[in-house]
Structure 1
């Protein structure tokens, strides 16, 4: 009898806050900015921004907008980049392999 096997059984989907943090950190690094500079422009503490980038905080939409704006990203840009990263992390969600 055939058995259905998930293609990625042990690969959990990343949390949105982790993916958003990765995008913010990557954008900041691409711009060559220090955490303290981005934090100051966005009006958040460097510690809070660090925790956002590491996916430890569940930031409000206002906080996300402030940090994204400080990095010259719109919320649409941020959300699109996060969606792209999530698609890459779990490219075939729900895909199954039929084993005979």
Structure 2
């Protein structure tokens, strides 16, 4: 008699799946969170400047640990914190926000993208 694990694995229910996978169907990837994309962008700017975490954090007036958590997308920083880090990196909030928005837009499948004009029409 097969063990419970063998039955579980053979049923297609492994790895905490809620339902068996349908052949030929792909599971949509969840959208990245804004804080994760923001963190990647901030880290990229810091790395471009070849700066250590502690250097940027000191200029921003925050702890290196907190900046690390922001960069890893673990913390949802306030607008004041984002402004402080952006300022420490010499970038404007508008440029940073635009880059994050572009990264989020690029992560969407082509079919799911809605043109900006369509969004404005929907909002009206």
Once the two structures are superposed, residues 49-89 of structure 1 have per-residue CA deviations (whole angstroms, 9 ceiling, x without a partner) of 00000000000000000000000011101101101111111
Residues paired across the two proteins, number: 89
TM-score when normalising by structure 1: 0.82
Match of 1:24 in 2: 42
Larger radius of gyration: 2
1:49 matched to 2:67: yes
Deviation at 1:43, TM superposition (A): 0.2
State the TM-score, normalizing by the size of structure 2. Answer: 0.67
Alignment pair present for 1:90 and 2:94? no
Task: Could you list the structure 1 runs, at least 4 aligned residues long, displaced by more than 6 angstroms after superposition.
Answer: none
Greater helix proportion: 2
Q: Quote the RMSD (CA, aligned, Å).
A: 1.8
Equivalent in the alignment of 1:3:
none
Higher RCO (C-alpha 8 Å, min separation 6): 1
C-alpha displacement at 1:9, in angstroms?
4.6
